[in-house]
Structure 1
């Protein structure tokens, strides 16, 4: 399985990017417009935040799902019994935000959301006519005014050897949303499950931007754009002593948007949450 790195500035970037999404569920961009120095600053200050007691001042809200999620309430991936080895903070436009960090993550949210809207435009432009006909409205319009797009700041702590056997930093899973926008994390480990049923490393050079399809776009496109299973492996050796910080933006459409003949976004989301009830949060 080949995951090409597409130059965002290339004249045929949109075509290359969408071909990669269609074939693999993933697209990787270099020379993209997101501010890398901002990303690095976010990684540094949020690592310090996760290493402090301040995080406990923002316990997650079980109804709104904003705030801090400790390892004790971390996610359990669908069809898995063991929690992932991670902690994270959920940032929404309306949600709580730590006073102990700068507003950089909020500014990144706005910047990355703008780029995501452009990428959705690419996806629509390069959808075959029969696929495009399935969309209930232009793909970029699905996210306009939506307050549910989620920025998750993730911390995978160093491993100490006493982790539950079989537990992973992130067990194999697919994303629920339209697109996920992910700057390369501070450490490697992200893998995608290929059509050959083998795991393949996702390019992770610092400065790259990784985009993957979520289940909602797979549903809307009749699986022309597949939602591909991925995971984050546990490191070994000296790498196991290092934290890993990542910054996925999960792009969500408005709840009333029609995804397919079977679902609105709200119906689809509620069904998935019901499947994960008592497990995801």
Structure 2
């Protein structure tokens, strides 16, 4: 684990709340990133989810592509290799991925922007383990947001009714082995996340790097029991950059390591689609005037960003 980006035990939220909130807030103000352990998610559950995700990515290309939704912006199901491109990048990322979204009733007011999930028939247990991990990370993310709310002077439950129907996404990613040398593409180009916060489970493989305020790339390889949690652009905007959405990337490993696949599973926690992202008054000061005079809905912001990264 990088000694510079803190890792905190979230059990302290219940036993040593003020100190935990202060330390977590300080980590996010400085880095936009923190490691979270003590989360209580059984390793067996994480392993089972990774098992079904790996089984899906091992299927034949033609089978996987049956779960691709043309024109869907990758919102649900499968997105093939070579599609997503980091904002402003010349070359596509070296990855393929799947999206699991929130299960909502067909008569929900959000159904038009939150389509039903797809589930691959070929992989037993995919729905059980995939959506199980989704719900687990959703709960953990809500706890992190409670701590952040307290840190900026909001009630602990401030985010609860703004994210309970959030258009959040669990994204199992497969970075295939890199078989050619000197290619211009990287596994994931330098980018910021779109959403409120991202929870990355199983980030124990090397490759993730975070750009410091001084412009230095800092490797952040966590212990197996640590979930990496970072700030996304929506929360940066909502908090008037009190919490920065820090640029990060996934680099290509050296030598023979590049010939091995890499898997990761981020959970992108989003607000409800109609939530209005409007700068919080408590984050506006003489030294930090409002940077965003015009509010925007979460859905409007999401669609804007999906076009930028070539998913729409």
TM-score, normalized by length of structure 1? Answer: 0.89
1:220 to 238, 244, 250: 238
Change (3 A) 1:63 1:45: closer
Which position in structure 1 is the counterpart of 2:144? 119
Gaps of 5+ in 1: none
Which position in structure 2 is the counterpart of 1:85? 94
Question: CA separation in 2, counterparts of 1:49 and 1:268?
Answer: 31
Question: Contact (CA 8 Å) 1:46, 1:101: kept in 2 or not?
Answer: no
2:270 to 243, 252, 255: 252
Question: CA separation in 2, counterparts of 1:202 and 1:162?
Answer: 24
- Write the mapping of 1:114-193 to structure 2, written as runs, cut at 5 A: 114-127=139-152, 129=153, 132=154, 138-146=158-166, 148-161=167-180, 165-185=183-203, 187-193=205-211
Q: Specify the SS of the correspondent of 2:50.
A: helix
Question: Contact (CA 8 Å) 1:89, 1:153: kept in 2 or not?
Answer: yes
Question: Contact (CA 8 Å) 2:193, 2:232: kept in 1 or not?
Answer: yes
Which position in structure 2 is the counterpart of 1:2? 4
Question: Contact (CA 8 Å) 1:156, 1:245: kept in 2 or not?
Answer: yes
TM-score, normalized by length of structure 2? Answer: 0.81
Change (3 A) 1:275 1:69: closer
Shifted more, 198-207 versus 75-84: the winner is 198-207
Q: Specify the SS of the correspondent of 1:181.
A: strand
Cα deviation digits, residues 36-64 of structure 1 (max 9, x gap): 21112222232122112242331234226
Question: CA separation in 1, counterparts of 2:53 and 2:142?
Answer: 26
Question: Contact (CA 8 Å) 1:186, 1:245: kept in 2 or not?
Answer: no
Which position in structure 1 is the counterpart of 2:300? 267
Cα deviation digits, residues 101-129 of structure 1 (max 9, x gap): 411111110111011111111110011x4
Question: Contact (CA 8 Å) 2:207, 2:221: kept in 1 or not?
Answer: no
Gaps of 5+ in 2: 104-115, 279-292
Question: Contact (CA 8 Å) 2:209, 2:219: kept in 1 or not?
Answer: yes
RMSD: 2.0
1:71 aligns with 2:81: yes
Question: CA separation in 2, counterparts of 1:218 and 1:106?
Answer: 28
Question: CA separation in 2, counterparts of 1:47 and 1:270?
Answer: 29
> How many aligned positions are there?
270
Give 1:162 deviation, angstroms. Answer: 5.7
Question: CA separation in 1, counterparts of 2:144 and 2:189?
Answer: 27
1:43 to 50, 54, 57: 50
Which position in structure 1 is the counterpart of 2:223? 205
Question: Contact (CA 8 Å) 1:49, 1:101: kept in 2 or not?
Answer: no
